Every structure is written in C-alpha cells, then in structure tokens.
C-alpha cells in the first residue's frame, strides 16, 4: 500500500490544502492527514474543531484518514507505515523551506517527500491569511472548504 502523510496544523484547513489532498488521493492508496500538536503554539481553532473540519470535508473520500500526532513527523511516518510525505508548494519560499525539511527527513528515515504545486486559483491562500480575515470579520468562506463555517 502506498501511504502518504500530509502533515500540518490546519488552523484552519484551506482550499489550498483541500486541493493538494484531492490530488494526492489520485497518487496514493491512502492519504493520512496528520494534525501536528504543538503545545507552544497558539491556535485559533481547537484540535477537535480542526479535526472535525477535515473529517467533514473528506467524509465521502474513503482514501483519506485524519489523525493527530506529536513529535517528529518522520517518527510518526514510521509508526504508521507511511513511506511518503505529501507537501504543497505555493511559491519559491515554500520550496526552499520544504526542501530543507525533506533533506533532514531523508537523513533520519527512509522517507520520500512528494511536492505538488498548488493550483493557480489557491496559491495565495494560507491559514494565516484566513485567520486574519476571520479576526477582522471578513468573508473567509471563499478560502476554506464548506466544513469550515463558523456561526
């Protein structure tokens, strides 16, 4: 089985993430969306909310599994038998950052990182932009899956 791990904080999941995951399921037998837990980071949404947003967004996709984890991503990959890490790239800065992490991961474990370029229509979207729009009472719904609707 070709299992890929798609790690992130997903605070919240965006249409950019959604696009990468939808395309990832065409490449792998299973895509495990892994929400990393970092006790030192301040999140807008609770871990339970973030997990529910993703589970609802992919409720009809049997090849997607949603989990949470702590520690090193490569250790978690080994724990669940994932041979690949799936990452999305929006711009050259993302590439440089992700390349360094991919090299470090390959040094620590037999793990291959697969990069997908974001689609042109979602390449500008980031979770931090969405959080800023939400904080300022803007219309964030254009940037997130339907499951991320706050009352």
**Would you state the pLDDT for residue 40?**
81
* 93-110 pLDDT, tens digit each: 889 999 999 999 999 999
Q: Is it the case that residue 51 has pLDDT exceeding 80?
A: yes
**Ligand-binding site membership of 39 (annotated):** no
Q: Where are the beta strands (DSSP E) in 1-151?
A: 3-8, 30-36, 64-69, 84-89, 112-117
- Rounded mean pLDDT of 45-74? 96
Query: pLDDT: is 151 or 55 the higher one?
Result: 55
Q: Is 73 annotated as a binding residue?
A: yes
If DSSP codes are grouped into helix, strand and coil, which group holds residue 79?
A: helix
Question: Any idea which residues carry the catalytic annotation?
Answer: 17, 41, 90, 127
pLDDT class of 56 with cuts at 50, 70, 90: very high
Residue 46 is labelled as binding a ligand: no
Q: With 90 as the cut, is the pLDDT of residue 91 above it?
A: no
Tell me if 128 is assigned to a ligand binding site: yes
| Interval 21-33 mean pLDDT | 97
What DSSP designation does 66 have? E
- Asked if pLDDT for residue 151 goes beyond 70, the answer is no
User: Tokens standing for 28?
Assistant: 């792998």
Binding residue per annotation — 87? Answer: yes
- What percent of the chain has a predicted confidence (pLDDT) above 70? 99
User: The whole model's pTM is what?
Assistant: 0.93
Which domains can be identified in the chain, with CATH numbers? 3-142 (3.40.50.620)
pLDDT averaged over every residue in the chain: 94
Comparing 6-15, 64-73, 87-96, the range with the smallest average pLDDT is 87-96
């Amino acid at each position: 089985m070709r299992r890929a791990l798609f790690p992130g904080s997903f605070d919240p999941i965006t249409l950019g993430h959604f696009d990468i995951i939808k395309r990832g399921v065409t490449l792998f037998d299973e895509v495990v969306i892994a929400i990393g837990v970092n006790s030192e980071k301040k999140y807008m949404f609770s871990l339970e909310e973030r997990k529910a947003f993703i589970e609802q967004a992919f409720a009809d996709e049997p090849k997607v599994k949603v989990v949470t984890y702590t520690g090193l991503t490569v250790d978690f990959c080994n724990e669940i038998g994932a041979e690949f890490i799936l990452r999305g790239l929006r711009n050259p800065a993302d590439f440089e950052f992700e390349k360094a992490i991919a090299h470090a991961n390959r040094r620590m474990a037999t793990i291959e990182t697969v990069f997908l370029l974001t689609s042109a229509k979602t390449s500008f979207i980031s979770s931090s932009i969405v959080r800023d729009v939400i904080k300022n009472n803007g219309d964030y719904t254009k940037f997130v899956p339907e499951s991320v609707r706050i009352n």
